[in-house]
Amino acid sequence: MTYSKPKKIKATQINNVLYWSGTMLDNAPNLDPQLQATAASGFNNILLWSLHVNTANPSKQIALGDFTWNDTLLVSSQSGKQVFDPTGSFTKLATRLKNLLSKGTVKKIFFSIGAGGTSDFTTIKQLYSTAQGQATLQNNFSTLLQKLPAITGFDFDVEDCFDAPSTAWLTGMLSTKFNAAITYCPYGSRSFWEQCLESVYQALKKQPVVWFNLQCYSGGGGQDPVSWAAAIKKNQQKNGVANPSVFIAPGYAANNQAGDGPGICPNVFTSTLTPYKGKVGGAFVWNSQHIFDDPAPCNGKTASIQDYAAAITKALQ
């Protein structure tokens, strides 16, 4: 399998990012209309939430390092070799992702690894500690990318094990072996993320992390995107980030009935982001489910996915 090198992010390009929450199972209700709306929305980057790296669970026929998308097996090595979609739950997935790229504004699709309340990066650290474990991860990612060539790269949502050596190794492995673009998704202290950036750059003499999706809601509430960009610029010689002024993409939750966020409406997205014009490289919305399945009213009506994408564009372009 030949992997194409991801395009460089242009300094003038606004990264209009949506986290897609909800597994694209074959039998998922309303999925295709939602994907069609997403393709035409104005979002140019879709982050599929969430890919999990599992501990061994013999009762569920899960081997150490197997991948699930949320709770459904995506890559299994239980049989001794890598098998994509062992349960036959994702037979339409490759076509759906291909259509998402070819029929609208979406240019890049990432898998987001990790989530709050999981142990994904603890497992990654365990696998990183042995040559066999590293080989397992590499082989599993190889199978995933061979079967899903629409995937551009991976987003790291580290919330359980802040181990810079294993996180930097995974960044380097994915970028060098598979030409994958990498984004990080911080919500707290900068020191861990800066250490990862610097370790990767020192090892590779280039920086494959293309931007940070900075959580500015829930656990990341109150984060200042400009101060993050300034810190990246201050240490530019150590981290190898080519253009710190477009490296940060702050994110907020869409207005929702789930109590997540707190969520905000498109007009508040615009007013919140406008002061950052020229100081950040884009922004993200958390998440598709809040827009499609559990939205809260905005000025007496339901905001569309196009409304949220347009709010970012209006503020930052």
126-153 pLDDT tens trace = 999 999 999 999 999 999 999 999 999 9
Name the pLDDT band for 188 (thresholds 50, 70, 90): confident
> What percent of the chain is predicted at pLDDT more than 70?
96
DSSP H or E run through 174 = helix 164-178
Please determine, for residue 2, whether its predicted confidence score (pLDDT) is greater than 80. Answer: no
Task: Please report the domains of the chain, with CATH numbers, ordered by start residue.
Answer: 15-316 (3.20.20.80)
Please determine, for residue 19, whether its predicted confidence score (pLDDT) is greater than 60. Answer: yes
CB-CB contact of 213 with 251 (8 Å): yes
Please determine, for residue 6, whether its predicted confidence score (pLDDT) is greater than 80. Answer: no
What is the per-residue pLDDT for 249? 98
Please determine, for residue 50, whether its predicted confidence score (pLDDT) is greater than 70. Answer: yes
Please determine, for residue 42, whether its predicted confidence score (pLDDT) is greater than 80. Answer: yes
Quick one: average pLDDT of 213-220?
Answer: 96
The total of other beta-carbon atoms located within 10 Å of residue 189's CB is: 9
What is the per-residue pLDDT for 3? 31
Identity of residue 54: N
Give the residue from 24, 50, 53 showing the smallest Cα distance to 139: 53
- Write out the two tokens for 17: 């990012």
- Distance, CA of 30 to chain centre: 23
Q: What is the mean pLDDT of the chain?
A: 95
Cα gap 19→55, rounded to integer Å: 25
Quick one: average pLDDT of 194-202?
Answer: 98
DSSP secondary structure of 11-28: TT--EEEEEEES---TT-
What is the per-residue pLDDT for 1? 31
What is the per-residue pLDDT for 189? 86
What is the per-residue pLDDT for 225? 98
Please determine, for residue 43, whether its predicted confidence score (pLDDT) is greater than 70. Answer: yes
